[in-house]
Structure formats: C-alpha cells, structure tokens
Amino acid sequence: RNSALAKKIATLQLRLAPLVPLPAGPPHPAFPKTLMAFHLLTEDELDSIAHYYHQSTPSQWTHHYPATMNWDKDFLAKPQGNAEDLDSGASYADMSDKERIRIKRRKVGKFIGLVGMETPAEEIAARIQLSLDRAVERS
C-alpha cells in the first residue's frame, strides 16, 4: 500500500466549511464540499462563485467578507472573438486558459480560507503591465 497516495487522498477528502453570502442566503450551489471538489471547479463555476459573493460585481457587501478576491474582470476575462480582439488590450492576451483558471481558483481558494493561495510575483507584474498598457491606450 502506498502511504503517500493514501495521505493525498485523505487530504483531498477534507471537508470545507461553506461560506454564506451577505446579507443572507444559502452557500453558492457549486461551493465545494471537499478539497477535491474545490480543485474540480470549472471556470464558469469559479466565475459564478465570485459573482455570488459580490467579488466580480462589487456591491455594498464586497468588503464585508473576511477576505476579498480583488477580482479584476478585465484581467480575468475569457477571450472573446478573434485574434485582433486579443491584441486590443481588453484582456491579458498572453495568458492561457489554464493560467487564467489557475488564477481564478487561487483567488477563490484564498477567499474561502485555504492556505497556500498567495499571489505569485509574475501575476502581479502581469497585472501592472496590463494597467500600464491600458493607461497608454487611453492617453
């Protein structure tokens, strides 16, 4: 029997405490019940969770949670349309789908209290560059 595998399976079976939305209501229907379910969330579910908890669509409740997601809708937007649209600066064109989903998963994980969800320096640099590019375009 592989003890490392057994330990990993036990970790993935850890139950997560549900987060209720403000001002009231049930947890999001896709809120993960286990750590494994968290890792299996789809991009649409991650987007929906961010919206449900007032993080991608700011409201009076956004900053009343123990943490915020700092959800940048432009930076995390799914690419739409053709290659010309991607070059317009509307989204971070160099980001792969996998990378975008990884960032969203990390933001949701940090929001619900999981450890090890710190923002990497590369992501911070990419967001700063995108902000600078947008400012240059507007000027």
Give residue 81's pLDDT. 62
| pTM across the whole model | 0.81
Full DSSP string of the chain:
--HHHHHHHHHHT-B----PPSSS-PPPTT--SBHHHHHT--HHHHHHHHHHTTSSS--TTGGGSSS-----TTTTPPP-S-HHHHTTTSS-TT--HHHHHHHHHHHHHHHTT-SS-PPPHHHHHHHHHHHHHHHHHH-
Tens of pLDDT, residue by residue over 33-42, are 999 999 999 9
pLDDT tens, position by position, 83-127: 544 444 445 556 789 999 999 999 999 999 999 898 888 888 877
Domain ranges for the chain: 18-138
